[in-house]
Structure 1
Amino acid sequence: MEGVQVSIDRIVVEFTDVYWDFFNPFQLRLREYLNANLRLKEKGFKYHLHVRDRGHYLHISYQLTFVPKSRKNTLRIECHPDSLVHFYSWLKPIKDYAREILFVRCDVAFDIPLPISELFTLSLTGRNMHTWQGTRYSNKKHQRQVAGYSRVYDKKCQLMSRHRKVIEGELTRFEIVYAPDEKIPLEAIIQFPPKFNRFYLCTHLTHPEHLKPKQRERVSGLMSGELQQKDVSGYYRRLIVEEMRERPTLNFDEVAAAQWKEAITLPCAVLCGQINHLPVQVSHAG
């Protein structure tokens, strides 16, 4: 499958050992100058700040609730990579005070120059892919942060409806959550491109009329949303996978590896100012 572009749509990074003496005046300034909204929660992170400024957003979490009280705690940020540049003057002091900067997860987007109506997608690991309002999802909404969670949607339509932006040709986006088993030093994340081939199959379905009738019926139902993946037996799923692999198929691993450096350079440059190409031993997952 040709012409696929890879990008990062959302990234989550942690700063370790950030002192309360820094965080407290920092959050007060954010609330004063950027009207940040502060919330306290009893699970996960205790302090949550959400900032929106001129079309950019930044979510900051601080102090895990289940760890012993300490003067220094983990601070987590979540935003689009472009927002890292916008909020750089606010993020730089955090970088200067933290002991480590760790990659937690990100959404990896594969932009495919084909209409979603011609793309057959299937989970290979038991996730129940289903369709809601034209978007294909894997698993439930509350599993949004789980490694391998995905959604497939008409990006051309979204650009038009949300931003009134018109593009030529067709465009479908396949987003997958990349979350390694262990957090990776951000400067070394370039060494660990995501691997999703074992999670999903994405095929350009040409000439569906050539499929056998029972396969064609199930493939059509899966693509239209009339069927969920759990509605198709394992026997027919295996037959469909074998058939689909004979058609143009997206090699997630190969495409991501080829474009990973370009996709991850901005977060590395903004948050840690360097990229480490030396081997680092960590567990790896899609």
Structure 2
Amino acid sequence: GAVEKGIITLIGATTENPSFEVNSALLSRCQVYVLKSLEPGDMVTLLQLAMQKDDWLQEKKIDLKETEALIRLSGGDARKLLNLFELVVDALSDEETIELTDEKVMAIAQQRIALYDKTGEQHYDIISAFIKSMRGSDPNGAIYWLARMIEGGEDVRFIARRMVIFASEDIGNANPTALVLANACFDAVNKIGNPESRIILAQCATYLASSHKSNASYMAIEEALDVVRRQGDLPVPLHVRNAPTGLMKKMGYGKNYKYAHSYEGNFTEQEFLPGPLSGTTFYDPGRNPREEELRKFLRSLWKEKYGY
């Protein structure tokens, strides 16, 4: 197209992550430069330049007594810093000398400054930090990032939904109760809503973070899907096929199937996988107390077949 041929020179800027906001085909043809957050010293310099060069600010007598709150609330973003600075100065414009302190800045800002962008890069960064804190068994990190999302106005249903997924993907059979609790949490926050839902979310997040972890069942389905995609539709063994008609029974459907409950211990060994996959192990129980019990039980049933 025109970009590839050099007919058009495209220069763009965005405050969002281009991976989410820019068309992938266009992005692949661009050189991306990441602008880092400003350092505190740079932000103070920017404030001083604004007071020197902005016509409206020049009319004010401003004493920049403290800057920590301005810098912290701006998060290294010059645009947010100047917007907040203007907001605070405007709110104190009746004073002969506008003395900026951290306490005044916090009182004026309150909920008026966007500390959390629910649609931007920070949305993905914070939910990522939340999930990784739980995966890393740190309830303190999980609670902090949960608080950041709640304070920023994140949809509590989104948070609860992610915890349901986490309970199965990252805890799984290491503690099956985790999924029960996460699902109950999702139902509860839908019924309760804000602000009380924070209590329910906190209980669930700390429980998930403090639980034994296992991704064994998640890895099992990923490996099985990979096999299916690579090997296609392998035929179902005749003895485990459904035989609702006489013709199917004559064709051998269901023949020699062993009904597990008819045998001692409700088990008898038989093949359930397609022939080429016989003996393939997809589910490898995790190394945790609960799944070690499962591993021991499966070994008692299948002996050496699956390597349990």
TM-score range, shorter chain: under 0.3
TM normalised by structure 2 equals: 0.24
Task: Please state which structure has a larger fraction of its residues in strand.
Answer: 1
Which protein is bigger by CA-based radius of gyration?
2
Specify which structure has the higher proportion of helix.
2
Instruction: Name the structure, 1 or 2, with higher relative contact order (CA <8 Å, separation 6+).
Output: 1
Q: TM-score, normalised by structure 1?
A: 0.26
